[in-house]
Amino acid sequence: MLHIRPRLLIVLSLLLVAFPGHAQNCLLTISGIVKEQNGDVLPGATVSFAGKTVVSDSEGKFRLSGLCGGAVELTVNYVGYQNFYQKINLQKDTVITIQLIADETTLQEVEIVGNTAAKTGLTNSSYSLSQQELEHFSGKSLGEALKRVPGVSALQTGPAIFKPVIDGLHSQRILILNNGIRQEGQQWGVEHAPEIDPFIASEIKVVKGSEAVRYGSDAIGGVIIVDTPPMHQAQKFGGELNAGLFSNNRMGVFSGLLEGGFKNAESMSWRIQSSVKKGGDYSTPDYVLSNTGTQELNFSGALSWKKEDRGAELYVSSFNTEIGILRAAHTGSLEDFDNSIRNQKPWYIEDFTYTINAPRQKINHQLLKVSAFKKIQGVGTLNILYGGQYNQRKEYDIRRAGRTGKPALSLDLFSNILDVSLDHNLGGLTGSIGINGTYKDNANVPGTGIRPLIPNYRQVNTGLFIIEKYRKEKWLMEAGMRFDYQHLQVLTFINNQDLVKPSFNFNYVSGSAGVSYYMNEFARITSHVGVSMRPPHVSELYSEGLHHGTAAIERGLMNQNGFQTDQALIHKEISTKFTQGFQLIRKTFSLEVSAYLNHISNYVFLKPTGTALTIRGYFPVFDYNQTEAILTGVDGLMHWDISRSIEYAGTFAYLYAKDVANNDVLTFIPPAQMEHAFTWHRTLKKGQEFFITLSAPVAFRQTRAPKTVYPLDVAAYEGEKVFDFAPAPAGYILLNMEAGIKFPVGDHTLSIALEGENLTNKTYRVYMNRLRYFADEPGANFMLRLKYNFHSHE
Amino acid sequence: MRKKEVSTIINRVVLSLFISFTCFVMSCSDDPEATNEEEVITTVLVTLQPTEGETVTLTWDDINLDAVVDESEIVVSDNLVPGTSYAATIKLLNKSGNSEVNITDEVQKEAEDHIFCFTVTTAGISITNLNKDKNELPLGITSVWTTTSATTAGTVTITLRHQPGVKTGDCPGAGDTDASITFPVNVGVPV
Better-predicted residue by pLDDT, A350 or A26: A350
Same domain, A34 and A118: no
Residue A373 has pLDDT above 60, yes or no: yes
Same domain, A243 and A206: no
pLDDT of residue A319: 95
Residue A601's CATH number: 2.40.170.20
CA–CA distance, B113 with B139 (Å, rounded to integer)? 9
Cβ within 8 Å, pair B5-A399? no
Same domain, A166 and A285: no
Same domain, A237 and A185: no
Determine the average pLDDT of the residues in A89-103: 81
The single-letter DSSP state of residue B174 is S
Q: Do B39 and A450 contact (CB within 8 A), yes or no?
A: yes
Does the residue A1 lie in any domain? no
What would the pLDDT profile of A615-668 be if each residue is shown by its tens digit? Answer: 777 778 888 999 999 999 999 999 999 998 999 999 999 999 999 999 999 998
Which amino acid, residue A613?
L
Which of A84, A100, A116 is at the close of a domain? Answer: A100
Determine the average pLDDT of the residues in A407-417: 92
Cβ within 8 Å, pair B35-A414? no
Cβ within 8 Å, pair B175-A401? no
Collapse the DSSP code of A540 into the 3-class scheme (helix H, G, I; strand E, B; otherwise coil) and give the result: helix
Residue A136's CATH number: 2.170.130.10
Mutate to test the interface with B, among A381, A461, A494, A616 (most CBs of B within 10 A): A616
Mean of pLDDT over chain A:
85
Chain A hits for B18, Cβ within 8 Å:
none
pLDDT of residue A111: 42
What would the pLDDT profile of A282-331 be if each residue is shown by its tens digit? Answer: 999 999 999 999 999 999 999 999 888 899 999 999 999 999 999 888 87
Residue B80's pLDDT band, with cuts at 50, 70 and 90, is: very high
Same domain, A220 and A231: no
pTM: 0.82
Chain B 128-157, residues with CB within 8 Å of chain A CB atoms:
none
Residue A159 has pLDDT above 60, yes or no: yes
Same domain, A208 and A264: no
Cβ within 8 Å, pair B40-A615? yes
Residue range(s) defining the domain that contains residue B60: 43-187
Determine the average pLDDT of the residues in A195-205: 88
Q: Peptide bond before A20: cis, by omega within 30 degrees of 0?
A: no
Residue B175's CATH number: 2.60.40
Mutate to test the interface with A, among B9, B11, B26, B27 (most CBs of A within 10 A): B27
Same domain, A185 and A256: no
Residue A21's CATH number: 2.60.40.10
DSSP string, A663-724: TB--SSPPPPEEEEEEEEEEE-GGG-EEEEEEEEEEE---TTPPEE--GGGGGG----S-EE
Of B154, B159, B160, whose CA–CA distance to B80 is shortest? B154
Same domain, A524 and A661: yes
Of B27, B40, B31, B36, whose CA–CA distance to B94 is shortest? B40
Chain A hits for B96, Cβ within 8 Å:
496
**Percent of chain A residues past pLDDT 70, beyond the cut:** 92
Does the residue B28 lie in any domain? no
Q: How far is B113 from chain A (nearest CA, A)?
A: 9
Number of domain units in chain B? 1
Better-predicted residue by pLDDT, B10 or A179: A179
Determine the average pLDDT of the residues in B35-53: 88
Question: Does the interface predicted TM-score (ipTM) exceed 0.90?
Answer: no
Mutate to test the interface with A, among B9, B39, B117, B178 (most CBs of A within 10 A): B39
Does the residue B13 lie in any domain? no
Residue A119 has pLDDT above 70, yes or no: no
Same domain, A390 and A301: yes
Same domain, A624 and A655: yes
Chain B hits for A499, Cβ within 8 Å:
31-32, 34
Q: Which of A310, A348, A456 sits opposite B9 (nearest CB)?
A: A310
Number of domain units in chain A? 3
Determine the average pLDDT of the residues in B14-19: 52
Q: Do A697 and A653 contact (CB within 8 A), yes or no?
A: no
Residue A11 has pLDDT above 60, yes or no: no
Which of A100, A120, A152 is at the close of a domain? Answer: A100
Same domain, A21 and A146: no
What would the pLDDT profile of A521-553 be if each residue is shown by its tens digit? Answer: 788 899 999 999 999 999 999 888 777 666 678
Residue A794 has pLDDT above 70, yes or no: no
pLDDT of residue B168: 92
Q: How far is B114 from chain A (nearest CA, A)?
A: 10
Same domain, A641 and A669: yes
The CA radius of gyration of chain B, in Å to the nearest whole number, is: 28
Instruction: Give how far the C-alpha of residue A474 lies from the chain's centroid of Cα atoms, to the nearest Å.
Output: 33
Does the residue B178 lie in any domain? yes
Residue B19 has pLDDT above 80, yes or no: no
Which of A100, A129, A157 is at the close of a domain? Answer: A100
The single-letter DSSP state of residue A354 is S
Assess B14–A contact: CB distance below 8 Å, yes or no: no
> Chain B: residue nearest A616 by CA?
B179
Of A351, A379, A369, whose CA–CA distance to A289 is shortest? A351
Residue range(s) defining the domain that contains residue A62: 6-100
Assess B160–A contact: CB distance below 8 Å, yes or no: no
Residue A415's pLDDT band, with cuts at 50, 70 and 90, is: very high
